[in-house]
Amino acid sequence: MIFPMHREVKPQRRAQPIRTLSTRAVGEGAAAAELLAQLRPARAGCVVLFCTPHYDLGRLGAALRAAGQERLIAATTGRCIGPDGFVPQGIDGFFLPAARFKVADALIENAARFGLREARDLARALRARLGRRVAERFPHVFGLLLVDAEPRCEERLTAALGTELAGVPLVGGSAGDSYFHPGGQRPEAARVLHRGAARRGAAVFCLVASATPIHAVSHTHYVPDRRRRVVITEADPARRLVFEIDGRKAIEAYAQAAGLKHAPRDAGDYAPHPLMVRIGGQYFARGLQSVHADGSLEFACAMEPGMVLTVARPGDMVEDLKAMFAGMREIIGPPELVVGFECSARTVEMERSGLSAAVGRLFADNAVVGFCTLGEQFNTVHVNNSFTCVGIGGQRP
């Protein structure tokens, strides 16, 4: 009888996990030192950071680059999101190891002038950098966009890039702190960082190819109330200003349609009742960013005369988020990381309603790392009042 030769089977070594990065250190030098300690032992990969405006992005980038961290992307935010939930002062982020991810990144220096031709050229260039055989090892791809909110160009930028991706999901967020601290951020402060260079009026776009499954979603707990419709009758789309709704002063007409009993003081008073527009059979929110003394309203998305919108009513934010994460787990299993972009207006609603702690715990339980934004990007649409995210599945044992 011939017996088969015994061969010792060595256990498979799991690839390097995604790392979550977090610091509350004061000052760019101390923060960089803590982040570098969390990255050791240093290996190839890409770092993405979300920083509150207490840190100068240029100095932070220089400190990390001097220590050898070249692949670095960052954005400024009023609240970063990580293991501690919502954080008003600190830095949260993540590290994508090269063994499991291939990232092709690029700086869009002038986001306001970026159009369809530039989007076509950039998408082709990044696909070429990923390589034709990328799908063999990294079959799951998504786009990641971080953009300075100041130029107010996210609608065109997202539409151009999302169209060129042709079905590859795109998620992203608008950087800035004006919602939480209107006068707090220095006017000259850079809001995005790419490979050590801090920029204003710019955007960073990445194609990320993953070895494990991904799932992108734009979630909102708001429900359109079809009984309460309004029409924009006078507006300046370039400045995202609305002067009249239903032929009346915007602030008065919106307050009545939203059922507010008292005159609104600021944009936060409208947070539970954003306006919603229907695009391709799906409703997307259009959130208010500020209330002006003349009664005009500034939104986080362009609003045009003749637009018909529906006033929304809020659902159960916590239960709706639980259902969203449950749906994600059914598709990709327990996420190892969820890159999340939470609307600042929803965050204000959480804080006023006492929901911040519960939502923060839910985010931590589902490995969310991200920031509170002045607008969220999803596929080809610039949206508001949403939690827009991409979940990355973990490695199989």
Signed CA dihedral, 303, 111, 145, 374: sign only: negative
Query: In this predicted structure, what is the pLDDT of residue 290?
Result: 82
Predicted structure pTM score? 0.89
Contacts by residues 318-323 (CB-CB < 8 Å, ≥ 24 positions apart): 318/355, 318/358, 318/359, 318/362, 320/219, 320/221, 321/219, 321/221, 321/359, 321/362, 321/387, 322/362
Query: In this predicted structure, what is the pLDDT of residue 14?
Result: 60
Query: In this predicted structure, what is the pLDDT of residue 146?
Result: 97
Mean pLDDT (whole number) for 220-238: 89
> From edge to edge, which strands make up the β-sheet containing 214-219?
85-87, 80-82, 368-373, 335-343, 387-393, 214-219
Signed CA dihedral, 360, 361, 363, 369: sign only: positive
Mean pLDDT (whole number) for 322-342: 96
Query: In this predicted structure, what is the pLDDT of residue 23?
Result: 97
Q: Is 168 helix (H, G, I), strand (E, B) or coil?
A: coil
Is residue 11 predicted with pLDDT exceeding 50? no
Is residue 178 predicted with pLDDT exceeding 60? yes
Lowest mean pLDDT among 67-71, 100-104, 157-161, 183-187: 183-187
Q: Which amino acid is at 78?
A: G
Is residue 10 predicted with pLDDT exceeding 50? no
Number of other residues whose CB lies within 10 A of the CB of residue 80: 26
Mean pLDDT (whole number) for 98-118: 94
Query: In this predicted structure, what is the pLDDT of residue 12?
Result: 41
Per-residue model confidence as pLDDT tens digits over 340-363: 999 988 888 888 889 999 999 999
DSSP type of residue 384: B
Residues of the chain above pLDDT 90, percent: 61
What's the rounded Cα separation, in Å, for the pair 31 and 210? 28
Query: In this predicted structure, what is the pLDDT of residue 185?
Result: 52
Query: In this predicted structure, what is the pLDDT of residue 87?
Result: 93
Is residue 153 predicted with pLDDT exceeding 50? yes
